[in-house]
Amino acid sequence: MSLDGKVAIVTGSGRGLGLAYAQELARRGASVVVNDVDAQTAADAVAAIQAVGGQAVAVVAPVGPTETAKQLVSAAVESFGRLDILVTNAGVLRDTVLWKMSDDDFDTVINVHLRGTFTTVREAVLHMRAAGEGGRIICIGSPTGQRGNFGQTNYAAAKAGIVGMVRTWALELKRAGITANTVVPVAATAMTATVPYFAAAVQAEANGEPVPAFFRHDLGFGTADDVAGLIAFLGSDAAAEVTGQVIGVGGDRIQIWTHPEAALSAYHEGGWSYDALVEAWPTQFAGALQSVGERFPELPEEFKTAAS
């Protein structure tokens, strides 16, 4: 099932994961609006797509402001006549622990990831609903938004917020035939290159070598191209019934994340007083407490040198 005749916007698609998404959508037949803050990077991405027979135009602007969202949708409609798929991928990092995080560190990440997703999706949906032909909203999340991560208060808040918005949009957009899903990629990118644990996999990717099986299979950690297939699938007619989901993808693995559910429900006649909680907590509640942060298996010996 191809994407012939479809038109897609991919924010933050000048390089890395976003470029891989744009290239895969184009390879499957979609015309693509590329977006980046750097004009040359955006132009190079467009040229790469066109060089293999795809169609693409660029919008050079930072994601976040409503004006950029309007530019992106206008570019799709004016260049290709319609809009079917939106992938919100643009992002930045400003990592530091809570007590060292400045207002600007927090606001910058929230503005690009969370507000940028909101403004761009809102503008796309305005057009899709008016056109009456349905559509696909694909928002990029992160394991950090699902589990938390040391030093990423701003990023965790933004990515968790995106998931909350997507679940809401799946409800609001169902009657219009517009699906909304979150993709959680795990891949060798500039954002993961600084994590020592992934060093051997990132180095292999940079050298043009296969990512070792431990990373691909055991961790579900691979290349940007490993993620792109899911993006194209969710943008297609084959995924018309898939909405409101959080789908993890990386290496050889795909995961369907659960929605939050109560791990334990307990009742106490008259309500739970302080004294009742002190008495009951060790036996009734302590065993149901949930873990935080990602959990990785120990690195095999052959990869520890790269991580050190």
Is 25 within 8 Å of 85 (Cβ atoms)? yes
- The answer to whether 211 and 251 are in contact (CB under 8 A) is yes
Nearest to 155 by CA among 88, 246, 93, 97: 93
3-state SS class at 286: helix
Distance between CA 113 and CA 5 in Å, rounded? 29
Catalytic machinery residues: 142, 155, 159
Report CA 153 to chain centroid distance, whole Å: 17
Within 10 angstroms of residue 72's Cβ, the number of other Cβ atoms is 25
> Nearest Cα to 30, choosing from 2, 10, 1, 72?
2
What's CA 18's distance to the chain center, in Å?
A: 10
Are 69 and 103 in contact by the 8 Å Cβ rule? The answer is no
Task: Name the CA radius of gyration of the chain, rounded.
Answer: 21
Q: How far apart are the first and last CA of the chain?
A: 45
